Amino acid sequence: MNNLFKAAFIIAGKDLYSEWKTKQVVTTMLIFSGLVIVTFSFAFDPSNNAVRAIIPGLIWVITIFSAILGLNRSFLSETKNDNLYGMIVSPTDPSSIYLGKVIANFVFVLIVQLISIPVLFLLFDFRFLGNLPMFLVVILLGTFGFISVGTFLAGLTANSKSSEMLLPILLFPIVSPLIIAAVQATRILLVDFEQLASAISWMQLMGAYNLVFFVLCLILFEYVLEV
């Protein structure tokens, strides 16, 4: 178990260091997030209270599509110089490759969220009056579940010539329950505080989804690498 986590952190550290040097993935994700926020801030009147109801959806639009940009590149860099093949034939547990990629992708998306969500609130003049700890838990649960499944499918489609098109087609139907739960829980915590019990139910659903799919992806990733 220690070797599993040690190898996973080494792989994640490699990806994070590579991104620190190139700044390609996070920069692309931030540019997309900025375009979405600016476009919607000019399309709608931020002073209109009804417009604020779209903010929960915007948070997850930014998260989903910026994450897709990062996931598409997650294994692309590994396939160029047959680095992925080197990982496969190495004595490293295949599960550590998956875990390392999940950690790196999760960090990338968190960085984007850390910058884009405050900017979204600022441009829409939105005052956060909800439960901040619960809001952060919803963000973390939704992001982790999306990245867990997305990283698995990114590995599955890595050797496909049309991987950038194939990944969203496979990913969106699978993560739809998670995204619905995340948007509903975020909406309640930001706009409709009286239904806090419903938000907790949605969070429980997200937690169960994450547990089931993360374990499945961790077990099955070994067979994905053989495809």
Secondary structure tally for the chain: helices H, strands E: 9, 0
Number of domains in the chain: 1
Asked if residue 61 has pLDDT above 70, the reply is yes
Asked if residue 211 has pLDDT above 90, the reply is yes
Cα dihedral sign, 132-118-67-176: positive
Counting residues of the chain whose pLDDT is more than 90, the rounded percentage is: 38
Range in 1-5, 7-11, 104-108, 164-168 the model is least confident about: 1-5
Residue 104's contacts (CB-CB under 8 Å, 6 or more residues apart) are: 11, 12, 15, 16, 19, 74
Written as six digits, the tokens of 6 are: 């040690």
Cα dihedral sign, 65-13-178-122: negative
Asked if residue 207 has pLDDT above 70, the reply is yes
**CA distance to 53, 107, 149, 176, per residue, from 73 (Å):** 33, 14, 15, 22
Could you give phi then psi for residue 124, rounded to 5 degrees?
-95, 5
Asked if residue 72 has pLDDT above 90, the reply is no
Asked if residue 150 has pLDDT above 90, the reply is yes
How is 51-84 classified by DSSP, letter by letter? Answer: GGGGHHHHHHHHHHHHHHHHHHHHTHHHHHTTHH
Nearest Cα to Cα of residue 15 among 4, 28, 26, 31: 26
How high is the mean pLDDT of the chain?
85
Mean pLDDT for 17-41 is 87
Mean pLDDT for 158-168 is 77
The count of C-alpha atoms lying within 13 angstroms of the C-alpha of 13, restricted to the half-sphere facing its C-beta, is 6
Mean pLDDT for 208-213 is 95
Asked if residue 222 has pLDDT above 70, the reply is yes
Mean pLDDT for 61-74 is 88
Range of the domain at 42: 1-226
The predicted pLDDT at position 87 comes to 65
Range in 13-27, 74-88, 90-104, 202-216 the model is least confident about: 74-88
User: Measured in Å, how far apart are the chain's first and last C-alpha atoms?
Assistant: 25
The predicted pLDDT at position 91 comes to 66
